Amino acid sequence: MQFDIIIKNGLYFDGMGNTATIQNIGIKSGKIMRVSDTVLDESQSHRVIDANHKWVMPGFIDSHTHYDAELIVSPSLSESVRHGVTTVLVGSCSLSMICSDYEDAADIFTRVETVPREKVLPILKQHKTWSTPKEWVDFVKGHPLGPNVITMLGHSDLRVGVMGLLRATDRNVVPSASEIKKMEDLLEEALEIGFIGLSTMRLKWDKLDGDRAWSKSLPSTYAPWKEISRLNALVRKFDRVHQGAPNAAAILQVNQYMRECMGLFKKPLKTTLISRMDLKGSVYLSKITNIAAQVTNFFRGDFRWQVLPTPFTVYADGIDVVFFEEFGAGEMALNLKAEVERNALLKDVTYRRNFRKFYGEKLSPRVWQRDFGDAIILDCPDNSIIGKNFSEVAKGRNVHVVDLFLDLVVEFGTKLRWYTTVANHRKDVLKKMVGDDKSLITFSDAGAHIRNMAFYNLPLRMLKLVKESMDEGKAIMTMEKAVWKMTGDQADWFGIDAGKIRQGDRADIVIINPEYFNLDLEQVSWAEMENFDLQRLVNRNSHLVDTVIINGNIAFESDEINHDLGVVNEFGQYLPAK
């Protein structure tokens, strides 16, 4: 047979921004063999897919996930694959699982990303045999994969692997010259074998799990900037990417990243930061971040904010949600593990007074808008308050809304489930952010915050946003450009072989049925987290994604995951940076 698969009559998006046209695509041995406007001989193909009235485009790249642990025991990563993602980046936010030992890797990951430690720790204890970047790559190359995998080396992981967890989280400890050299050697090894770059974290309300360093900030936050700058010199040398996150409570800290990125007297450092958002609590922030990017790029930088192309809606169980870490009273509660101790604190009159003080502050930098009137109760043993916001309930009971919230948490704990939209609520502002050529369309956090967020279908939400603007006669960009921003644009910037459909390219393809863009793509539901014995929030968009092909193999079709997904060397691959 000349072809394994023919895709015929589809509207073909090449991932490079060229005008979409009706084409026929022939696939053989995992590669694109033909892209032609003439009919291909169907008798010379094992399989023919009729894509009439459908869109054929490169598989999407999700360049901000936390699949590091899930990759080990559930490598199909089917929650992303079913939405057309064929390449995922792990090692984000300083949190790779490579250099540190199994317990340290669990402790720096689980509380931050809200995946239970009791699930992650046994996985790492059983399976983690590697402690260097090369050993990890050897593991991944021999591991069954669903999507292709690219990776950052996480600074917290690197620091702990060299210094140990306790020394790496001691503000009074400065790494020795030999320790800095060891970090540089490990990073250089990673870059030589194709790691995309280095990820760091300066946000201090991302905290550690476990008993040894409970509630300390991530190790990366303890590093002096000169340490990060030395590591950046290697990232710059290899023309790779620095992914970072400034401290949200000290927004001017972004200047450190800006200076490092600029190429006035040295080679520019590719830099992407999380995240540019239109926050309800800091309406000026999207403008400040835009100015920061423009200034940096004006001075020969290569700077890109990560932008989530959808409202940033967060779900919470009681008080257990990360944005309470950003102010003192919330941090005090989350620092207490025991429910009895926490409830005693929440009932304390002085504590409540402090909580109300922090809640009332409107000028300090913040992510959460601190407005319980903008938070809807989804579930509670008291059925009478379901569907209401906390302010409505407080008014009905004639109590302050903070006291009402704390009373409910004490009475119901995590059985009190609620949600709020924190950012990207104004569609006109969101359209401007995604339309910026320097926006990196990403930040799904797939694999993390499993009860708090679900953006697995992020690329589809981006396409829908653009399609709606076109239908309204106010297009923010062409559909070809929208596809490019999630495929070829990211592939070129990260320097990986992905994101395009051309003769000779690996056949990573998604076929979309645009008739189903009328579905509510923000809707969430529950599904099993494979091999974790957990339920997590997911997205389900029946029939919108018709077919997903990875390395020439059908991974998803007719709303069903191929259960052979993850066969070694037949589906996903480790993709090194070029």
Of 15, 20, 82, 83, the closest CA to residue 55 belongs to: 20
What are the strands, taking DSSP E only, across 13-147? 21-28, 31-36, 45-50, 55-58, 60-62, 85-90
CA 101 to CA 216: how far, in whole Å?
18
Is residue 347 within a helix (H) or strand (E), and if so which, with residue range?
Answer: helix 339-347
- Residues 6+ positions from 137 with CB-CB distance below 8 Å: 193, 194, 574
Tens digits of per-residue pLDDT, 49-72?
A: 999 999 999 999 999 999 999 999
Of 475, 559, 478, 469, the closest CA to residue 511 belongs to: 559
SS3 209: coil
CA 46 to CA 48: how far, in whole Å?
7
* C-alpha dist (Å) from residue 455 to 74, 89, 311, 446: 19, 15, 10, 7
Beta bridge partners of 484: none
CA 201 to CA 207: how far, in whole Å?
11
In the block, tokens 């054929």 appear at 56
pTM over 0.85: yes
Amino acid residing at 37: D
Of 537, 542, 498, 500, the closest CA to residue 520 belongs to: 542
Cβ pair 549, 59 in contact under 8 A: yes
Beta bridge partners of 243: 199, 272
* CA neighbours closer than 13 Å in the CB half-sphere of residue 170: 10
Classified by CATH at the fold level, domain 91-245 comes out as TIM Barrel (3.20.20)
Q: Which residues of the chain have a pLDDT value below 50? A: none
What pLDDT score does 393 carry? 98
What pLDDT score does 249 carry? 66
Backbone φ and ψ of 524, nearest 5° = -120, 155
Check whether the bond before 275 is cis (ω within 30° of 0): yes
- Residues 6+ positions from 175 with CB-CB distance below 8 Å: 159, 162, 163, 183, 227
Neighbours of 252 (CB within 10 A): 11
* C-alpha dist (Å) from residue 466 to 13, 287, 401, 481, 511: 15, 22, 39, 10, 17
Cβ pair 187, 231 in contact under 8 A: yes
Cβ pair 20, 13 in contact under 8 A: yes
DSSP secondary structure letter of residue 121: H
* C-alpha dist (Å) from residue 199 to 168, 300, 564: 16, 21, 32
What are the strands, taking DSSP E only, across 327-408? 376-379
Q: CATH 3.20.20.140 residue ranges in the chain?
A: 91-245
Of 307, 293, 242, the closest CA to residue 493 belongs to: 242
In the block, tokens 């790029």 appear at 297
In angstroms, how far is CA 323 from the centroid of its own chain? 17
SS3 545: strand
The helix-helix angle for 133-141 and 177-192 (nearest 10°) equals 30
How many residues can be counted in the chain? 578
Cβ pair 23, 10 in contact under 8 A: yes
Of 327, 380, 317, the closest CA to residue 357 belongs to: 327
Task: Region of 26 please: left (phi>0), alpha (psi -120 to 50) or beta.
Answer: beta
